[in-house]
Amino acid sequence: MNPPSARAASAQQPVKSLDRKLAEIRAQPGGRTFILADAKDADMAYGVRAPGPRYWLSGRGPRPAHFSPEVWTREEFGYRNLPEFLDIIREIVHQGIVDIMLMSPYVNDLLTIQEGLFRHSTVTPAARANDTTDIWAVRHGCYTAEPSRPFRTASIDQIQCGRVECDRSSTDFPGANLGLYSLTFLNDPDRDREMLLAYKTFREEAERKGFRHFLEVFDPNVPTGWPPERLGEFINDHILRTLAGVPEAGRPLFLKIVYHGPRALEELVQYDPRMVVGILGGSAGTTYDAFLLLHEAQRHGARVALYGRKINHAEHQLAFIEMLRLITEGRIGPEEAVRAYHAVLQAKGIRPRRTLEEDLTLTDPVLRADRTGRSRPLWEVHRETIRVGEKESSHSGRDVGQPPLGEVAGSSGGEKPDGRRAAPVDFDRMTPEQRRDYHLERLRRRFG
């Protein structure tokens, strides 16, 4: 039996939402439980540009920076510095909506080990465990255009405890005990074998040291000439072939892959109900691109989404993340989430980078294509999304204190406190000011 001091210390540690949700997903693969991850590991790829554009800072505001006035002013320099980047990570962790915060090993050392940011949080810290050459996106470099090669900067010990060797008399490490490992297959036997050998070495070390990981599989970073459906099939088969040789103890917690459309995703998801499949966010795109991608991926079986640039380039990251969670819970549809997000920006006096009409544009070619690869006009995509939302609303339960899905999405009337049905919400008849007020009131009810 644990001593009282150990029991008290354990009681102070909140259950991580990731662990709870993974158990729920495995118990009920077809449920709505969904894992959201924020990828703040861009300093492993971009250098100075990694913290993102400076048009939104945390509540703390700007951090001191030295610039020679004859060279430029702080306002001219378009990127956040690292202290401003860390402040945003702290805000998102305190917000508590994402389940995983992915960082570079250095940022993990600063925030997880030295600061103890995650000690009393439900958010799980994670670190990028390798950095293949195809993510070396330095300015004026050529690495991203060359065939990917395996490379790993940090060791598992450095991620777990910030040192070359951890004290392994206990399994309680001060750092992250979860890492992202990425593979890039090129249809080249020698290069793919080299990639797999590096993963085998990492995987065996991780199993010996009790280090959990999730597996990211990138598309080939050099041209293949294949049509989209062949690329999805190639990735699916490589994932299943690779993991077929890995017993349960060494397998990743979940997958992170490019969304190649519903057919490819469902093909992978149905293969093994024990395998949790997630999607990566990809390039920034419009806000509607980001929200519809999440909606479509969840609809076709994904249970995890890891967004990097889509969050980091948002005008207000906390509001953007709130919209992502509302979409996964079925509280709001992608189009209305864009309208709600713009309403929040307007209320906070933040100038959006795009007008509402521009931000409602769908630019992602995969999302515009149907199952045959035919490109669909935007109105057809909108119509299908609305139809699916109505179908889901008739089968979805409602938590206490939450508005009905129909009221949020505008597809049907909501329920008043006295049990009577409210009139349907007709967004087309609303002025922009009325839509803004509607969404702000709903968000106040939801978040206080």
> What's the confidence (pLDDT) of residue 170?
87
- Asked if the model's pLDDT at residue 371 lies above 80, the reply is no
403-425: average pLDDT:
41
Mention every residue, 6+ apart, whose C-beta is less than 8 A from residue 128: 41, 44, 102, 103, 104, 105, 154, 179, 180, 182
Strand partners, 218: 184
Report the distance separating Cα 373 and Cα 262, nearest Å. Answer: 11
> What's the confidence (pLDDT) of residue 383?
64
17-21: average pLDDT:
97
Report the distance separating Cα 357 and Cα 62, nearest Å. Answer: 31
> What's the confidence (pLDDT) of residue 55?
87
Phi and psi at 435, nearest 5°, equal -65, -40
Could you tell me the end-to-end alpha-carbon distance of the chain, in angstroms, rounded to an integer? Answer: 42
Encode the chain in three state secondary structure: CCCHHHHHHHHHCCCCHHHHHHHHHHHCCCCCCCEEEEEECHHHCCHHHCCCECCCCCCCCCCCCCCCCCCCCCCCCCECCHHHHHHHHHHHHHHCCCCEEEECHHHHHHHHHHCCCCCCCCCEEEEECCCCHHHCCCCCCCHHHCCCCCCCCCCHHHHHHCCCCCCCCCCCCCCCCEEEEEEECCCCHHHHHHHHHHHHHHHHHHHHCCCEEEEEEECCCCCCCCCHHHHHHHHHHHHHHHHCCCCHHHCCCCEEECCCCHHHHHHHHHHCCCCCEEEECCCCCCHHHHHHHHHHHHHCCCCEEEECHHHHCCCCHHHHHHHHHHHHCCCCCHHHHHHHHHHHHHHCCCCCCCCHHHHCCCCCHHHHECCCCCECCHHHHHHHHHHHHHHHHCCCCCCCCCCCHHHHHCCCCCECCCCCECCCCCHHHCCHHHHHHHHHHHHHHHHC
> What's the confidence (pLDDT) of residue 2?
47
Phi and psi at 139, nearest 5°, equal -60, 135
Set out the domains of the chain in order of their start, with CATH numbers. Answer: 33-325 (3.20.20.70)
> What's the confidence (pLDDT) of residue 410?
35
Alpha-carbon distance values, 15 to 50, 118, 213, 315, 357 (Å): 31, 11, 19, 31, 41
223-249: average pLDDT:
94
261-276: average pLDDT:
95
Report the distance separating Cα 302 and Cα 266, nearest Å. Answer: 8
Written as one letter, the residue type at 421 is R
Report the distance separating Cα 324 and Cα 288, nearest Å. Answer: 11
Nearest 5°: CA angle at 10, between 7 and 11?
A: 85
pTM comes to: 0.84
- Asked if the model's pLDDT at residue 307 lies above 60, the reply is yes
- Asked if the model's pLDDT at residue 395 lies above 80, the reply is no
Mean per-residue pLDDT of the chain: 86
> What's the confidence (pLDDT) of residue 243?
98
User: Smallest Cα–Cα separation from 438: which of 334, 350, 340?
Assistant: 340
Question: Do 217 and 173 contact (CB within 8 A), yes or no?
Answer: no
Residue 47, judged by CB atoms within 10 A of its CB (0-12, 13-18, 19+), counts as middle
- Asked if the model's pLDDT at residue 279 lies above 50, the reply is yes
> What's the confidence (pLDDT) of residue 16?
97
Phi and psi at 255, nearest 5°, equal -105, 155
Report the distance separating Cα 298 and Cα 259, nearest Å. Answer: 11
Alpha-carbon distance values, 192 to 97, 149, 196, 198, 226 (Å): 37, 9, 6, 10, 18
Q: Pull the structure tokens for residue 279.
A: 């999607």
Residue 229: pLDDT band (50, 70, 90) is confident
Q: Pull the structure tokens for residue 16.
A: 């991580």
> What's the confidence (pLDDT) of residue 158?
98
